Structure 1
Amino acid sequence: MKFDHRDPGTSESRWRSSASWRAVEEFDATGIERLIVVSAHPDDETLGAAGLMKRVSSTGGSVTVILATDGDNSHPSSPTHSAAQLRARRIREVQEAVEYLAPGSSIVRLGLRDGALKEDPDAVRSGIEKVIASAEGEATIAATWRGDGHGDHRIVGEVSAEVAFAHRAKLVEYPIWLWHWSSPEDRDMPWARLRAFSLDDEELVAKRQAIAAHASQVAPLSDAVGDEVVLRPEFVEHFERRVEAFIVTAVEESETLNQGFFDNFYGDKKDPWGFETRWYEERKRAITMASLPRERFGQALEVGCSIGMLSAQLAPRCDSLLATDLSAKPLEIARERLANHPQVSFHHAATAEEWPDGAFDLIVLSEVGYYFDVAALDRVLSRAAASLTPDGVLVACHWRHPVAEYPLSGDQVHQRLSEVEQLERIVQHCEEDFILEIFGQRPARSVAQQTGLV
């Protein structure tokens, strides 16, 4: 998502008049004892979660604010403020804002480079994990939303989701720029997972005071070119409303996507994902095939084969390949595609419940793990590990960007996979769009070890 903060954006009145907005369910903050608010930049926490911070603090809970960056790149062309001066000013501003909301709360600064969090997600992860480990009790993490359209916000959201998943913490995400570039009619609006948190009079006053404390963002630094206001009044209006919005991902309540979802998704379309036409997909398949640690395999299993594009590349390297899918329509296309490969068979099955018998030298889970809920994914991974031959390998490849309908994210799938005790990672390829990993039975051997080079 590309946007310009200088554009007018969607008006607050348009959001408020939306029937979808009025139908949003309430967010229940009852029982939050430890709130960890993760912010990409100073002011994100105030815009998105000030009321929640005030509520938790006022009811005796603890609040910790984690700042991934100091926001010193907000005015890169300023003739009056250096980056160091902006950093100092924005730190003072966030300290003042937090005092309005949750007096005495801790502010943890990670000091990472503003605008470049994608280069150091591990530092974000480490910072959040240290805060979680610093005290006992169930934590709720409130982080910038992964789908907010801002690179730093996305990294904070993605890493926070990984940490919450790994530590069994609750997660809510607060959108910031969504209200600017999206609209009530946008088909991708996450209405089903959006929750509204109503502020009382005291909370609303405190939030507005905290927003005003971020003077370097809500007002120009000076009249000079390069010192223009970052958060325009029409944008700030979204956050002066009496309601805060949180996107809730309740992993433990999410359900595995069923056959009806995929049947509806395919509909009358042959290739709704663009497997046949997108360079992205062609390149990803090439990387997957090049990463296989053996030239040839005996018995192979591909879970969720769809229309058989990857199957067609796996087949020549396997003595036999069993390809499964939950939906019958793509299986018909896959059968036709691989009609000249007698070693390939197809099975229409819900793999979490109908895992095939036998042992496999190769198991492929490509773009399927996030369709399962946690319990179903654990069953699949457990059965996959148990079905591998002693020198067999499991290939997992998943899209890393958020998809509202999926119970899990790609990163969560691979986090869960890394926790399977019997398996050891052989290959890891991670980029912004997808993650590819290959595992073997412990103790796994590298390609050089397998071929006698070391």
Structure 2
Amino acid sequence: MSFTHREPGTCAARWQQAGLEQISALEPEKLFNATTSVIVLAAHPDDESLGAGGLISMALERGIKVHVIACSFGEASHPDSKTHTAAQLASLRKAELAQAMDRLQPQGTHAGKLHLHCLGLGDSQLETQQEQIRAALEQHAGEGCLIASTYRGDGHPDHEILGRIAAACAAAHGACHLEFPIWYWHWAQPGRQVGWKHWHRLALDAAGAKAKGRALEAHRSQTLPLSDLPGDEVLLGAGFMQHFSQGAEIFRATWPGHKDAASAPATFDELYSQREDPWEYRSSRYEQRKQQILLASLPRVRYGAVLELGCSIGVQSAELARRCATLLAVDASATALAQARDAVASMDHVTLLQATVPEQFPQLEPGSVELVVLSEIGYFLAADELDQVLADSADALAAGGELVLCHWLHPIEGWPLDGEAVHRMASGLGFERIVEHREADFLLEILRKPAGAHG
């Protein structure tokens, strides 16, 4: 992701027009009912106020203690400043952070206590300091905690690494994880990025909205110019700040007991290391027959470029490769791909790629693929992730290209979706269904992108 704060970005009005106010609501009482503490993990001073200032205030008002962990002092915010050194910026922003936290702390005797923890790690270097961050987070995590962090897909490396660390910690403790986007609102486009439609909106009460506004005012080094000299320009301009003055905060929520795409590499590497062929693709009559039905249902004898998502150990990849000019086969598990390499070893037109979608969806030219195969992978994604994978697949497909979906219809433990939900979401693409095969155990559909459609 490449962007700068100097770019105009996507305005708040476009997000509102796209339906941001209509996404699912987070009910405060349900959110806080079983919460004993809230931990907010922020990369830089102001992240906590921008993304979760209202959440912090509302938790404190209910008597819930809050730990805010600020990993750096944001000393790299103005690298070209002639008036402030990095050390001076760090000192300034540390003082602003303390003032913002004072403004979020309610004065009532029954209010929760806000605890600020400053790690003082290097700004823009948090990926190299993960152990210190994990240790600080673990120190406060425990039963009944709610963990909020910057968003894993925010486009800023510091924000993204914190999102991943927080996700792992929340999963280990059975905690709810709320991710707050910050720069996402600036660079993303409502029609191109679609996962936000599955996020949640926390409407702020009057006290929470007021406290958030006062906290944001404390971060003057970011919302006002440092001086009139070049290099001291405002970092967070008025247009950017409108994203955070809508009377609500937006979170990507991962609920206890549910995994998402980020869990896939470790989960499936472990599975394949324990059993070489855990789904018995090579020996199961059910799997062999299902694959034969899928291949026989393909409308064309031969395809140009084919994309297979979730190729596993390459059994199906080898068969698809016999019917196309090029095949890009993708899987999150390096262990599975080691076997897939053997399966397609003699096929020079096959490329294997380890990637976790949608975050690492292959960079393909729009309309460059004739067939996308998405088999037994959809329910290993959260709803927002699947929606983005479907959108990216649709963009990659040429007009008249085909999307194959094939999924098990029985319950999937530990993941938020099931086969029926996956296919129901795919119907939202508006493609023509040209094949439907349903059995008690699985559903196979082939959808065709309308002729003349673009991206």
TM-score band by shorter chain is: 0.5 to 0.7
User: How much does 1:30 deviate?
Assistant: 3.0
What are structure 2's unaligned runs of at least 5 residues?
A: 107-112, 262-268, 296-310, 324-333, 340-353, 361-377, 386-413, 415-455
Partner of 2:374: none
SS at match of 1:17: helix
**Pair 1:86-2:89 in alignment:** yes
Q: Is the partner of 1:95 in helix, strand or coil?
A: helix
CA apart distance, 1:91: 0.9
CA distance in 2, matches of 1:240, 1:252: 32
Q: Secondary structure at the match of 2:276?
A: strand
| Letter matched to residue 23 of structure 1 | Q
2:9 counterpart residue number? 9
Q: Distance in 1 between matches of 2:100 and 2:120?
A: 19
Checking the alignment, whether the CA contact within 8 Å between 2:174 and 2:257 is kept in structure 1 is: no
Confirm whether residue 199 of structure 1 aligns to residue 204 of structure 2. yes
Mapped partners of 1:255, 1:176: distance in 2: 21
Instruction: Summarize the Cα distance change of 1:189–1:300 in structure 2 as closer, same or farther, 3 Å threshold.
Output: closer
Alpha-carbon contact 1:57-1:63 (below 8 Å) kept: yes
> Do the aligned partners of residues 186 and 400 (structure 1) sit closer, same or farther apart at CA in structure 2, a change above 3 Å counting?
closer
Superposition RMSD on alpha carbons, in Å?
3.7
TM score, norm. by length of structure 2: 0.59
Contact 1:304 1:323 in 2 (8 A): no
Contact 1:303 1:324 in 2 (8 A): no
For residues 30-52 of structure 1, the C-alpha deviation after alignment (integer angstroms, 9 at most, x for no partner) is 32330000001010000000011
Aligned partner of 2:114 among 101, 105, 126: 105
Q: Is the 8 A contact 2:143 2:173 kept in 1?
A: no
Alpha-carbon distance in 2 for matches of 1:143, 1:300? 35
Structure 1 residue 137, shift from structure 2 partner: 3.9
Matches within 5 A, 1:141-220: 141-192=147-198, 194-220=199-225
Q: Would the aligned equivalents of 1:302 and 1:324 in 2 still touch at CA under 8 Å?
A: no
Q: Distance in 2 between matches of 1:232 and 1:190?
A: 23
| C-alpha distance 332-162 of structure 1, shift in aligned 2 (>3 A) | closer
The residue aligned with 1:71 is: 74
Cα distance, 1:75 vs structure 2: 0.9
Alignment of 1:267-306 (within 5 A): 301-303=276-278
Distance across 1 between alignment mates of 2:255 and 2:166: 14
Pairs aligned (count): 303
Instruction: Tell me: CA distance 1:366–1:60, structure 2 relative to 1, closer, same or farther (3 Å).
Output: farther
Once the two structures are superposed, residues 91-145 of structure 1 have per-residue CA deviations (whole angstroms, 9 ceiling, x without a partner) of 111111111113551111111110011122222111111222xxx6410000000
1:190–1:246 Cα change, 3 Å: same
The aligned residue for residue 51 of structure 1 is 54
Shift of 1:206: 1.2
- Tell me if the contact between 1:303 and 1:323 (Cα under 8 Å) persists in the aligned partners: no
**Alignment partner for residue 229 of structure 2, among 208, 215, 224?**
224
C-alpha distance in structure 2 between counterparts of 1:138 and 1:367, whole Å: 40
Taking structure 1 as reference, are residues 337 and 233 closer, same or farther at Cα in structure 2, changes over 3 Å only? closer
1:226-250 deviation per Cα after TM superposition (whole angstroms, max 9, x unaligned)? 1111101100111011110000112
| Displacement after TM superposition at 1:367 (Å) | 10
Alpha-carbon separation, structure 2, partners of 1:11 and 1:405: 33
Secondary structure of 1:79 counterpart = coil
Cα offset, 1:321, TM superposition: 13
SS in 2 for 1:120: helix
Query: Is the contact made by 2:143 and 2:175 (CA closer than 8 Å) also made in structure 1?
Result: no
Query: In structure 2, what residue type is equivalent to 1:242?
Result: G
Cα distance in 2 between the residues matched to 1:175 and 1:255: 17
Q: Does 1:30 align with 2:22?
A: no
Contact 1:367–1:398 (Cα < 8 Å) also in 2:
no
> 1:321 and 1:196, CA in 2 relative to 1: closer, same or farther beyond 3 A?
closer
Distance 2:211 2:102 in 1: 9
Contact 1:42 1:69 in 2 (8 A): yes
CA 1:122–1:254: 2 relative to 1, 3 Å? closer
| Secondary structure, counterpart of 1:220 in structure 2 | coil
